[in-house]
C-alpha cells in the first residue's frame, strides 16, 4: 500500500527532530511540510536533473498546426498535452504510416534570427522550445501539411501534491532522495539544523548523485551544424 503524503512528511520531520516518533505533527507542521515539498519539486524542474526518468508522450498534430503546449491538467487555458510542463526535451519525432521523421531541436535564438522560407507547410524538420514558468510551448517548423503523430521524449515537471494524496506517483528510488532533501529544508524551518548531521548530509549527497547519474538530460546547447533552417541555408548557399 502506498504511503500517504502525511506519513511521508512525518518521516522527514523525524530525521531532524528530537521528539518521540509517535508524537504527532504540531500546529502547521504538516502544511509547511507540504509547502516545502511542493517547492522542492518545482525547483527541480529548473534543470530537470533531479526529476524522475524521462518519458514519452504522443500528440496528433493537425494540418497547419504550429504550436503545441505542455502543462498540468489544471492549467488555463487547457494545454494540448496535459502531462505537466515539459522541463527538458530529450528528442522529438513524427510518425506517419509507420515511417519515423526525426526532428532537429533548434536553438530559439538561431530560429528567430534566421530567414524563414515560405511556404511554411510541409514535412516538419525542426522543433523550437520556449520554456515558461507554468507551461512550455513547442513550435514545429514548417507546419505539417498532413496529420502527424508527434512523439516527445523528455522530462516533465511533477504534479503538486495535496493533503489527500499518496506517494504512489513517485518511484521508490525517488522517495528516498526526496525524503532526505525535504528533511534538510524542514530542519532549517524548525531551527533544528544542528540535527542535520554529517552522516545525513552524506546520505543526501549519495542519493542526489544517484538521481543525477541516471538522468538522460543533455545540457549541451551547442550544435555542430550551425543553422539549417530553410531560409538561412538557402541564403548562405546563394540559392
Tell me, letter by letter, the H, E, C secondary structure of 190-230: CCCHHHCCHHHHHHHHHHHHHHHHCCCCCCCCCCCCCCCCH
The whole-angstrom separation of Cα 11 and Cα 183 is 8
The whole-angstrom separation of Cα 104 and Cα 168 is 35
> Residue 72 has what pLDDT?
92
- pLDDT tens series, the chain, 239 aa: 789 999 999 999 999 886 555 556 778 889 999 999 999 999 999 888 889 888 999 999 999 999 999 999 889 999 999 999 999 999 999 999 999 999 999 888 888 888 777 667 888 999 999 999 899 999 999 999 999 999 999 999 998 999 999 999 898 889 999 999 999 999 988 888 888 999 999 999 999 998 888 777 655 444 444 445 555 544 444 43
Q: Cis peptide before 27, with omega less than 30 degrees from 0?
A: no
> Residue 239 has what pLDDT?
38
**Residue 81 has what DSSP assignment?**
B
CA proximity to 126, closest of 105, 110, 111: 105
Long-range CB pairs of 163-169 (<8 Å, 24+ gap) are 163/5, 163/6, 163/30, 163/34, 164/5, 165/4, 165/5, 166/2, 166/3, 166/4, 166/5, 167/2, 167/3, 167/4, 167/5, 167/8, 168/2
Residue ranges covered by each domain of the chain: 5-49+160-213, 55-157
Question: Which residues neighbour 231 within 8 Å (Cβ) at sequence distance 6 or greater?
Answer: 114, 115, 116, 117
Residue pair 120/141 in contact (Cβ under 8 Å)? The answer is yes
Provide the whole-model pTM: 0.79
> Residue 237 has what pLDDT?
40
Cell 545525513 identifies what position?
A: 200
The gap from C-alpha 143 to its chain's centroid, in whole angstroms, comes to 25
H and E: helices and strands count for the chain:
6, 9
> Residue 168 has what pLDDT?
92
Residue pair 183/197 in contact (Cβ under 8 Å)? The answer is no
> Residue 201 has what pLDDT?
95
Cell 505533527 identifies what position?
A: 25
Burial of 86 (0-12, 13-18, 19+ CB in 10 A): buried
Amino acid at each position: 500500500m502506498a504511503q500517504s503524503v502525511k506519513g511521508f512528511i512525518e518521516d522527514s520531520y523525524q530525521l531532524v527532530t528530537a521528539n518521540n516518533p509517535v508524537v504527532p505533527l504540531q500546529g502547521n507542521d504538516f502544511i509547511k511540510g507540504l509547502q516545502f515539498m511542493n517547492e522542492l519539486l518545482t525547483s527541480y524542474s529548473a534543470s530537470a536533473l533531479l526529476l524522475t526518468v524521462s518519458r514519452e508522450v504522443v500528440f496528433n498534430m493537425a494540418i497547419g498546426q504550429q504550436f503545441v503546449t505542455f502543462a498540468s491538467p489544471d492549467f488555463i487555458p487547457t494545454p494540448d498535452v496535459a502531462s505537466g510542463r515539459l522541463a527538458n526535451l530529450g528528442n522529438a519525432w513524427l510518425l506517419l504510416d509507420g515511417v519515423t521523421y526525426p526532428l532537429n531541436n533548434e536553438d530559439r535564438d538561431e530560429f528567430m534570427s534566421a530567414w524563414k522560407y515560405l511556404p511554411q507547410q510541409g514535412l516538419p524538420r525542426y522543433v523550437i522550445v520556449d520554456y515558461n514558468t507554468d507551461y512550455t510551448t513547442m513550435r514545429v517548423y514548417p507546419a505539417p501539411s498532413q496529420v502527424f503523430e508527434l512523439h516527445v521524449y523528455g522530462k516533465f515537471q511533477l504534479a503538486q501534491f495535496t493533503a489527500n494524496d499518496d506517494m504512489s506517483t513517485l518511484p521508490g528510488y525517488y522517495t528516498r532522495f526526496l525524503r532526505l532533501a525535504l528533511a534538510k529544508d524542514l530542519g532549517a524551518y524548525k531551527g533544528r539544523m544542528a540535527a542535520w548531521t554529517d552522516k545525513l548530509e552524506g546520505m543526501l549527497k549519495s542519493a542526489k548523485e544517484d538521481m543525477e547519474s541516471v538522468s538522460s538530460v543533455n545540457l549541451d546547447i551547442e550544435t555542430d551544424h550551425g543553422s539549417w533552417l530553410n531560409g538561412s541555408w538557402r541564403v548562405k548557399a546563394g540559392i
